Structure 1
Amino acid sequence: MNTTTSATPPEALRTRMVDRIVQAGHARSSRVEKALRAVPRHRFLPNATVEEAYADRSVITKRGSDGAALSCASQPTVVAMMLDQLDVNPGDRILEVGAGTGYNAALLAHLTGPSGQVTSIDIDPEVTAQTRRALDATGYGHIHVITGDGALGAADHAPYDRIIVTVGAWDISPAWWDQLAPGGRLVVPLRWRGQTRSVAFTRAGDRLRSDSVELCGFVPMIGQDGEHDGRIDTDGHVALYWDADQPIDPDVLRGVLDRRGTAVWSGVTVGVGESFDGVWLRLTGTEPGTCRIAADPAAVDTGLCAPAIPSRSPALVEGGSLAYFTQRHRDEDGTGRRWELGAIGHGPAGLGLAGRLCEQIRAWDRDRTAQPVITAYPAGTPDDRLPGGHVIDKPSARLVISYRPGNP
């Protein structure tokens, strides 16, 4: 049962939550804003306090025996961002993959209205049982809740005008493709090259084409696993994470950090609060060796490895060489609160890799808001049918990542 530690009623807390979301640039659609103001999020989080329910953070609702999050209520700003991307119309038929708490399904039902239909599917029967209870208790008993593998969709209620995936996906399931109506939209937190983006696709014939790509993070979908990892130092303090389609061998790289590194600086600086995740996104569309590097505190403290963000920074790998994204303080304005972005290379090709990474930092700096177009084709599509761009192969899809002319 929800409790509160203050006299502020839930309605006032909900108003504040939505005001923050709007100020952050989300809920751009007035219909999304109205839905967020109407649906009581705290009613879907019975084990959280009312303050926790309306804070701008995710709430874990189920953990595994190892403590890993198995299900959660997404951060409200991310919920609003993805609803903006989905662009629901009254009367739409919607599939939600990943039931969560039922809150997102209620928002979808509010958006599609009485003439529409919402189906929510989750593989965990405990999650779907709780979702069913919450929806029934809040007046959304008409929403279909199914226990099953979300990767298979829900064919009985297809085709769908909109499909939204609220768990981290490694691949684009063929079932989502088949069950999405022509011209329909798919919004999916898709993972590639060590990072996750919420990608909004529109179906056009035999392909899906993106028009929005936003940074996000989600609990991964059960049964989809295409990321490998391995330690590259003797003591096991530095790990690489790479995709199944990349020819990266940690054994070949082991010990490369013991070789003297060479730093290359881009001349590009960022201040406090300025995001530079766009560099990583750009690398995924230009450099085939893009992956993720993670360094434990011991590696950072000893100077073995100094990624810009120790737990998750992009790196480039080529054979037995690598370069990783780093930063250093610059005192341009006398405050010492700016950082220059660069790369540190190790191994025979390390200097060249670091230089290439810096080239992409500069390209990002020329237009920090540029987004790529991501076009997805079914696996097995011949190369000569793909448009120009960098190709990333998934088991069920081929992604082509390209930047529009004018977005260098």
Structure 2
Amino acid sequence: MFAGVMSSIEDIRKFYARLMAANAASSDPRLEEVFATVPREAFLGPGPWTIVAGSGKVTTPSADPAHIYQNVLVALDADKGINNGEPFLHAMWIGKLAPKPGEAVTHIGAGTGYYSAVLARLVSPRGTVTAFELDGRLAELARKNLEIYGNATVVHGDAVTTPLPPSDIIYVNAGVVAPPVGWLKALRPGGRMIFPWRPSERVPLAVMVTRTEKGFACDPFMRSWFIPCIGASVADLAAKIPTREQAMRSRSIWLTQHKAPDRTATAIFGDVWFSTKDVRAKPGS
């Protein structure tokens, strides 16, 4: 190598973090700082690592962590299709959620805990992260990886059937046909949730939900594909499944126990339905 060309891992992390912050377009300067200081390699197991590239896989030339400070998917369990997630996407989603110190976060589908650690740093001090992971091996790895983050707790369990703690943020990393009622009820006033909405194979969207005084506002904001969430990824026969266009026009989510589906319904899944009505709109607008 030419003199001065080699970079330290700290410099590489800093540049990676700058890219993450730029892609997130967040006004929070802490986002860049956190991505620079949470070591991604600590959550991936020993290298060399398997990188998911298109429909194939590439192995890094060595265990040098410089190889994984890029916008690449790193396999955690190739047989199950589980990876560490696309950093650009997660940085943007986390920036959109705008975690604040002192907030309570529930992370569903935590994997080995990398983005749980990022969230834990962003809600420090006084904030907490409860990280759910259904896969026992990954949950144990996440527990070990997050030991040094005193405000993060790992739950090896089913977030669909287990009551969630009251949450300011719910961060979902598995595709659902609709958010379970328990997830919506766990959101505190002003709370935010991002989840991969997958009402059908042809409609993979990311949705931001905000709990307002009048109900649950929702904003589908980009295409997104995650592995299915076990227990919440299959629609029943009575469901009203939206087209992509209908799904994109959804502006609120309602519980049938509070309001029966009406002509504004774009999708209906048991106890939860989506509507074109915007709960944030002023009367008459």
Alignment partners' CA distance in 1, 2:219 and 2:240: 25
**Richer in strand (by share):** 1
Alignment partners' CA distance in 1, 2:225 and 2:194: 14
Q: Indicate the structure (1 or 2) with the bigger Cα radius of gyration.
A: 1
1:10 is matched with which residue?
9
1:397 equivalent to 2:272? Answer yes
1:117 equivalent to 2:119? Answer no
1:199 equivalent to 2:161? Answer no
Structure 1: gaps (5+ residues)? 1-5, 229-241, 248-279, 286-370
- For 1:229-264, what per-residue CA distance to the aligned partner results, in whole angstroms no more than 9, with x for missing partners? xxxxxxxxxxxxx995359xxxxxxxxxxxxxxxxx
2:172 aligned residue (147, 165, 190) = 165
TM alignment of 1:285-304, pairs within 5 A: 285=247
Is contact 2:107-2:129 (8 Å) kept?
A: yes
TM alignment of 1:2-401, pairs within 5 A: 8-47=7-46, 48=49, 49=63, 50-63=65-78, 67-69=79-81, 71-136=82-147, 139-155=148-164, 158-193=165-200, 194-205=202-213, 207-211=215-219, 213-226=221-234, 244-246=239-241, 281=244, 283-285=245-247, 372=249, 374-379=251-256, 381-384=259-262, 389-401=264-276
Decide whether aligned partners of structure 1 residues 191 and 88 sit closer, same or farther in structure 2, where only a CA change above 3 A counts: same
Cα RMSD (Å) of the superposition? 3.0
Q: Amino acid of the residue matched to residue 122 of structure 1? A: E
Decide whether aligned partners of structure 1 residues 195 and 243 sit closer, same or farther in structure 2, where only a CA change above 3 A counts: farther
Secondary structure of the 1:383 match is coil
Structure 2: gaps (5+ residues)? 50-62
2:55 is matched with which residue?
none
Is contact 2:180-2:232 (8 Å) kept?
A: no
Shift of 1:100: 1.2
Alignment partners' CA distance in 1, 2:221 and 2:9: 33
Secondary structure of the 2:75 match is strand
Alignment partners' CA distance in 2, 1:391 and 1:31: 38
Decide whether aligned partners of structure 1 residues 214 and 244 sit closer, same or farther in structure 2, where only a CA change above 3 A counts: same
Shift of 1:35: 1.6
2:58 is matched with which residue?
none
Secondary structure of the 1:145 match is strand
Most deviating of 23-32 and 123-132: 23-32
Secondary structure of the 2:197 match is strand
Is contact 1:92-1:161 (8 Å) kept?
A: yes
Secondary structure of the 1:152 match is coil
Q: Amino acid of the residue matched to residue 284 of structure 1? A: Q
Alignment partners' CA distance in 1, 2:85 and 2:238: 25
1:321 is matched with which residue?
none
Secondary structure of the 1:61 match is strand
1:360 is matched with which residue?
none
Shift of 1:227: 5.9
Q: Amino acid of the residue matched to residue 31 of structure 1? A: R
% identity of equivalent residues? 25
Decide whether aligned partners of structure 1 residues 216 and 9 sit closer, same or farther in structure 2, where only a CA change above 3 A counts: farther
- For 1:120-143, what per-residue CA distance to the aligned partner results, in whole angstroms no more than 9, with x for missing partners? 11111111100011112xx21441
- For 1:261-303, what per-residue CA distance to the aligned partner results, in whole angstroms no more than 9, with x for missing partners? xxxxxxxxxxxxxxxxxxx85x234xxxxxxxxxxxxxxxxxx
Decide whether aligned partners of structure 1 residues 147 and 206 sit closer, same or farther in structure 2, where only a CA change above 3 A counts: farther
* TM score, norm. by length of structure 2: 0.79
Secondary structure of the 1:398 match is strand
Alignment partners' CA distance in 1, 2:117 and 2:44: 13
Shift of 1:195: 2.4
